[in-house]
Structures are given as structure tokens and as C-alpha cells.
Amino acid sequence: MKTPLLKLLSCFAAFGIASSAYSLTIVPTFDSSITSDPNAAQMEVSINTAIQVMESNVIDNVTVNITFVNDGSVGLGQSQTYGSDFNYSDYIAALKTAATSANDRLALSKLPSGPNDPVIGYNQIHLTTAQARVLALDSSYTGTDSTISFNMSLMNLTRPPGDPYKYDLISTAEHEMDEVLGISSDLPTTSEVWPVDLFRYTTNRVRTFTTSGDNAYFSIDGTNLIARYNMDPSGDYGDWWSITGVWAPPGVTPHAQVQDAFASPGDYQDLGVSELTALDVVGWTLSSTTPTLTIVHSGANQFTFSWPTTSSGFVLQERTNLVSGSWVFSSTGSTNPAVIVSTAGQKFYRLYKPGTSSQSPAHNDSVLSAAHGPYVVTTRVLHPAIP
């Protein structure tokens, strides 16, 4: 039988990501509570995997220092992140200088230059030390940017999850590192906004900054709603509310996301469209290069497809021609590497990144006010889902 011809279509999906020659560098320091644990090797592998996901999505040439701890006294995960206050007008000026994407330009078109923010009319805004560094607003801080603690006894250390009643370490690490990079809200405190609070809207396009009601969405322009915010006080007001079947943007099936406030154990996920868009508009630069898909003939009518493991969230799609029909998901889904058995005379394949991911357990916040000058720690505690 003639060997089928398989073609790799050079095309891209929205929010595609890949490794870059220039990227965010996260330097991990593993506390002795991890290095002395019998499962230390796997803990470190999983945390480093989460770091690779973050680094492959962000191309800013910035180093972020994070200490990782195993602490059985925390609910699930906890981050203690340093930050300071800056003039709102200086922040907007820095965003304009750093703008590279269409989302950046759209977001900035909705933001006044200053002196006061458009949410509560205050002239200061809180940035994490990592955010201040990427925007060249303050590079004087040289210590650890955050300490992230995990209750490893509640974690699945490998994927797919070995225990359906435990939570995913990689997902939890990504969730916490998102917040180190600055996509947390200052709520329930209302005396100052944090960058992502500038993009908090109701369904009628009005900015909102309250803990009351249940009508708050992440949007870069007030019109196109990207994610729904959690308004349950038992969770983090800066996290998403993506309970399956409840809400999703038009044309998108409701799905859990990495920055959700509540989740079920056994789930696992990586950064999705919502988290990446938030990182983009608060000051980070995303990679826009589609990862390379490699095809190797590995047997009779058998082919092995692979792409960089640091490029997370992609699934394999296929079609028999480019004139009629549409792209469909291959049976292998997001499996990487994927083995395809095909006797088709011709078939086209591509990588596609849908805006899907899974849930993260609930957050509670304990926020310390920060003043520009001293670097003040903001503590965030991640708890397992409420039954």
C-alpha cells in the first residue's frame, strides 16, 4: 500500500505561543522543605514544568526570583509577593512605551493618561516588583520577588493525575506565578486599584470595583467580555468564575480556567486565553510565534507528531483538503507526542489553541497596603475547593 502523504499546514491559532530566543526567566530557589522531601525530584520537575509554561508565553527579558516551599499548614498554595505603589500616570506612560499588541493598543485607548485612574480617581497604583521591573519603573529591588508555598500532601505531582481527590501542582504553581506577575485584584480593599482592576466591567460597559452583586467581567474595552470574575467572598475577587455551563464569551463553550476561584480535584490545566490576555494588557509581552509541529514516519501508515513541551494548551487538528470542509480535532487531542495511523492519500494537520483550561481551587486574600518606597509583601492563600 502506498504511504500516505501528510502535509503540515503553516497556519496559526489566536493566542498561539512558543519558545523565544528572548524570554522571561524565572529563577527558582527550592527551600529545604522541598529538597529534603522523599518526592523532591518530582516536585522540582513539576514546578519547573510550570515555569517553562510561563517562560514560553512571555518574551520580556526580565528575571523573576521565586522561592518555593513545602508547607503543610497552608490550605493548598500561598504566595507572598513584594510590591510598591507608583504614580498612575507613570504606569500608563510605561504601558504606552511597552505596547506591542493589538490588545495593548485597544486597552490603552480606554485608559486616561492621568493623573488619576478611571476606577476610583486615585493617583497611585500598586505593582508587584516583577511588574515594576518589566516596565522599567523600578529595578532597585534585588531580593526574592515572591515566596510560593504548597501543601504537597494535597497535590498530584504528575500528569495525568494519579489521585482524583488531589489537586494539580503544575496548575497551582502557574496560578500563583500569574499573581506574582501582577494579575491580582486589590479587592476587597477599595482604596487603591491594581493594574487588572482597570479592566473590570459590568455587562453594560461600566467599570466596576465592588464586592457586591455578581456582575463583574474582565474586558480590555468594556464591550468584549473575556472572563467572568468571582464575586463569592470565600474566593478571590480577582479570580475567574468559570463554573461549567454558567457563562462564557459568545461562541465559546463554558469551561474551567487556570485562574478560576473554585475547582474540583483531579483537574489539571495550563494558561489559557483569559490569563494570557490579562498578562498582556498589564505590561507583559506575549510570544506570538506558532510552535513548530514535527512529523516523523514511525511505522507502516504510522506517524508521530510532536511540538515543544513548553508550548502548552495546543491540540492537533486535521482536514482532508483546504477547499471544502473544516478543521476537526484529531482523536489524539492535546497528547504530545501523538501517534497517528492514517491510510489517507493526503491530509493536512495544524496546531490549534482553544481558550480552554481547567480549574484552580479557591483563593482567599489577606492584603497589606503598600507604600512606594518600602517593598511590602502581599500574602495570598490558595484553598482547596469547598465541597
Say how far residue 335 (Cα) sits from the centre of its chain.
20
- The answer on 140 and 210 residing in a single domain is yes
CB 157 within 8 A of CB 46: yes
Residue at 29 is within a domain: no
**Rounded to an integer, what distance in angstroms lies between the CA atom of residue 282 and that of residue 241?**
20
**Rounded to an integer, what distance in angstroms lies between the CA atom of residue 44 and that of residue 31?**
11
pLDDT given at position 218: 97
**Rounded to an integer, what distance in angstroms lies between the CA atom of residue 126 and that of residue 135?**
13
- The answer on 298 and 367 residing in a single domain is no
Closest by CA to 30, choosing from 54, 66, 63, is 66
- The answer on 74 and 147 residing in a single domain is yes
- The answer on 341 and 229 residing in a single domain is no
- The answer on 260 and 132 residing in a single domain is yes
- Residue that is written with C-alpha cell 512558543 in the block: 18
Residue at 27 is within a domain: no
Residue at 33 is within a domain: no
For residue range 370-382, what is the model confidence (pLDDT) as tens digits? 345 678 887 777 6
**pTM, full prediction:** 0.74
CATH number, domain containing residue 311: 2.60.40
Q: Which residues pair with 44 in a beta bridge?
A: none
CB 91 within 8 A of CB 127: yes
What is the rounded end-to-end Cα distance, in angstroms, of the chain? 56
By CB atoms closer than 10 A (0-12, 13-18, 19+), residue 141 is middle
Residue at 123 is within a domain: yes
Closest by CA to 231, choosing from 245, 251, 255, 247, is 247
Say how far residue 194 (Cα) sits from the centre of its chain.
17
- Output the CA–CA distances (angstroms, integers) from residue 376 to 84, 161, 282, 330, 370, in the order listed: 6, 36, 20, 49, 5
Structural domain count, the chain:
2
CB 280 within 8 A of CB 101: yes
- The answer on 194 and 275 residing in a single domain is yes
Within the chain, which residues score under 50 in pLDDT?
A: 1-22, 355-371
Residue at 129 is within a domain: yes
Q: Which domain holds residue 316?
A: 5-17+288-352
Residue at 28 is within a domain: no
- The answer on 314 and 185 residing in a single domain is no
Residue at 258 is within a domain: yes
- The answer on 307 and 160 residing in a single domain is no
**Longest CA–CA separation in the chain, Å:** 73
Residue at 30 is within a domain: no
**Rounded to an integer, what distance in angstroms lies between the CA atom of residue 127 and that of residue 334?**
35
- The answer on 300 and 185 residing in a single domain is no
For residue range 22-50, what is the model confidence (pLDDT) as tens digits? 479 999 999 999 999 999 999 999 999 99
- The answer on 163 and 73 residing in a single domain is yes
- The answer on 164 and 91 residing in a single domain is yes
- The answer on 301 and 165 residing in a single domain is no
217-218 vs 200-201, strand pairing mode: antiparallel
